[in-house]
Structure 1
Amino acid sequence: MQPLPRWALLSSGSAPVLLVGGWAVAGALQRSGYDPLTQTISALAGYGAAYRWIMTGVMFAVGACYAATAAGLRGVAAPGRIALACGGAASVLVALSPEPAAGPTLRHTAAAVVGVVALAVWPLLASERGPAARWVLRPWLAAAVTGLCLLSALWFLVSLRGDGPAGVAERLVTGLEALWPFVVVAACVRGRR
């Protein structure tokens, strides 16, 4: 594998910190009525949200982190890097498509679905076979991570349709998807030493 640039650690490590910090700060600043257990992260950036610029800026920054991390993951299978970069672009599109107070638009929903799916499948698309494959990119682990992300995304979808904890489910899937690029980069940098 080609050496990874040090900034890949920064970009991959910043994404989960920005995402979790962003939803925590934006949620804390909301006027009464916002419930993080049942309401989505998108509601924090939607029209009518207090300080909506915080979550909007976070979504832009997280998208840029995904794209930068994809660029820094030299030597990782191109389909995985492309999927990670597409997840970043989708994050930016979500930020550019805030929810109206009445609920999500088709553009917002489409961008969110593309982002969740791209970020869920990138580990599998980046997987490597053979004795020289790094442990974080082994097919069995990549399939497990992808499966976990897709199952948590399905839980989120079911929660949106019913009366479930959609906020918890969304935070689980987005948190997992934000953390995995850092795990991969950190393992690749550590394995290089």
Structure 2
Amino acid sequence: MRLASVLSSTCALVLLVGGWTIAGHLQGPGYDPVTQTISSLAAEGARDRWLMTSAMFAVGACHWITAFGLRAAASTGRLALICGGTATVLVAMTPETSTGAASVRHAAAAGAGGAALAVWPMLAAGRDPFTPWGLRPVISAAATTFLLAGVAWFVVSVQVHTAAGIAERVLTTSETAWPLVVAVSALGHAGRRSTVPSGGDSPR
């Protein structure tokens, strides 16, 4: 299951970045990734909107798989990651209008997803001395602090209409990359533990 989490979290990151890169290219020169959000790539009337929509559905599903496989993480953190994945799917199901306006459901899903994916590292932290480094309390708290700062940056960027596209890309990339970091640390930790003798005297 640890390997499945590594694979699913890797796919999530590739699908997200690859999705907005290709979808943005297909929009032509009229699309500005600095100021326009990812959601506009899946908005009603967007060219080949199915591409970004499908990517968001897949990213959400990947978060579910990752959460189920991260047995080393605390249950509350895994649940928050599942909620983040579910919110990502709901964002895909409630696209912006052709004028760029976001519905209440779209905004609520995006907000809930961003918050859940920001706080899950801290909620997933373990207290066991054998906890993988990616789930240790100090590192997890630092990750959540960084991600919440990214959420704040995005919210401010949307309100003042400046660089919202960049802020969202930094935030979503960071939020999607952290499950991969945790999954890799859990896989590496399991490998190291399996090489440690379970008992007996050390060789003289």
Deviations, residues 63-116 of structure 1 (Å, cap 9, x unaligned): 000001001111321000000000000000000001002311100000000000
Where 2:51 maps in the other structure, the secondary structure is: helix
1:19-66 per-residue CA deviation (whole Å, 9 max, x = no partner) reads 000000000000332100000000000011100000000000000000
Which aligned segments of 4 or more residues in structure 1 are displaced greater than 4 angstroms?
A: none
The letter of the residue matching 1:52 is R
Q: Quick one: distance in 2 between partners of 1:5 and 1:190?
A: 9
- Name whichever of 108-117 and 73-82 sits farther off: 73-82
Paired position in structure 2 for 1:40: 37
Q: Match of 1:146, as an amino acid?
A: T
Aligned 8 A contact 1:23 1:41 in 2: yes
| Alignment correspondent of 2:3 | 6
**Quick check: which has more Rg, 1 or 2?**
2
* Counterpart among 139, 142, 162 of residue 140 in structure 2: 142
Q: Structure 1: where are the runs of 5+ without partners?
A: none
Q: Is the 8 A contact 1:84 1:119 kept in 2?
A: yes
Matches within 5 A, 1:1-193: 4-102=1-99, 103-193=101-191
- 1:158 counterpart letter in structure 2: V
Is contact 1:31-1:50 (8 Å) kept?
no
Stretches of structure 2 lacking an aligned partner (at least 5 in a row) = 192-204
Task: Determine helix, strand or coil for the equivalent of 1:132.
Answer: coil
- In 2, Cα distance between equivalents of 1:191 and 1:57: 33
Deviation at 1:130, TM superposition (A): 4.2
Decide whether the 8 Å contact of 2:154 with 2:167 is kept in 1: yes
SS of corresponding position for 1:29 = helix
Q: In 1, are the aligned partners of 2:23 and 2:52 still within 8 Å (CA)?
A: yes
Aligned Cα root-mean-square deviation (Å):
1.0
How many pairs does the alignment contain?
Answer: 190
* More displaced 10-residue stretch of structure 1: 35-44 or 133-142: 133-142
Q: Deviations over 1:98-139 (max 9, x none)?
A: 100231110000000000000000000000124222211111
Distance 1:131 1:74, change over 3 A: closer
